[in-house]
Amino acid sequence: MKFNFPPPIIYLSIAMLVGCSGGSDKIAAPALPQTLTILVTNDDGIGAPGIDALVTGLLQLDDVNVELVAPAENQSGSSDKTTIGHLISEDSTTVSGYKGIAVYGYPADAVNVALEDVGIIPHLVVSGVNAGQNVGPFAALSGTVGAARTAAIAGYPAVAVSASPFTEYVDYNAAVGLVTDWVKDNRDVLLGGSANVDTVTSFNIPGCTQGVARRLVNVPLAESIPEGHGSRLFKTNCSLQPEGPPTTDVDAMVKGHAAVTDVPLQL
């Protein structure tokens, strides 16, 4: 009886296929995108334009879930104060209609309600955009920074973002752009749970009466406001060439630079 065997090349092909089917040589399937949960709050109240701009900007990112819990009313200057006893909260929206929860309490209360009562487990907490730069000594008084500090103390990475208090000079787009760029750059560590929680990342945007904000600089928190800087702190002519690079966050505002600062949790 005559047998017709396949040519050697076929045996070789079969062997290669069998060899490639081993468990150790399997090609791993690509990881599916993971949704980044961001809790947004502020100290100007849920109806403030800054928080609406922030929520709108964050929603433009891919694979994000934005949760909104903020004070029902303006609570500027409340630092990280909290309320003893029961807090009242209710469903509410931003000025453009994004749904969230309004808390009748301080910004730190809003964060605690979100984490403890509502049960939100965020990868990141963002507070702002505040009406008024929170630089130097103002950081300790700020409810915006206070809310972010409360989140970081609870173990959640936190960002605060602030801009000019003057409507004609405020640049929400620039402020939100700094935050969204930061989120993109830090997305992997946020999802992986390894982002820094030892400090709060605080962004501040100058109020430019002329020109536009200069490049972002990483500067320390100023211990005080130098004499003569007060009138130029919240609004400045950003078209003038500064004398030397900024040395602190206060100096950055005066010289027309956007600033990012690592703020301690205890102020």
- Domain of residue 183, CATH code: 3.40.1210.10
CA distances from 55 to 61, 91, 104, 248 (A): 10, 16, 20, 28
- Asked if the structure places residue 56 within a domain, the reply is yes
Q: Total domain count for the chain?
A: 1
In a domain, 89, yes or no: yes
Distance CA 124, CA 126 (A): 7
Estimate to the nearest angstrom the gap between the alpha carbon of 239 and the chain centroid.
28
Domain-embedded: residue 71: yes
C-alpha span between 50 and 167 (Å, rounded)? 11
Q: How far, rounded to the nearest angstrom, does the alpha carbon of residue 262 sit from its chain's CA centroid?
A: 13
pLDDT tens digits in sequence order for the chain, 267 residues long: 433 434 443 333 434 444 444 444 556 656 656 999 999 999 999 999 999 999 999 999 999 999 999 999 999 999 999 999 999 999 999 999 999 999 999 999 999 999 999 999 999 999 999 999 999 999 999 999 999 999 999 999 999 999 999 999 999 999 999 999 999 999 999 999 999 999 999 999 999 999 999 999 999 999 998 887 776 788 999 999 998 999 999 999 999 999 999 999 999
Task: Judge whether 25 lies within some domain.
Answer: no
Is 19 inside a domain boundary? no
Indicate whether 192 belongs to any domain: yes
Predicted model pTM: 0.87
Residue 27 within a domain = no
Provide the domain limits for residue 172. Answer: 36-264
Nearest to 110 by CA among 202, 196, 44, 199: 44
Decide if 5 is inside a domain.
no
Longest dimension (CA), the chain: 108
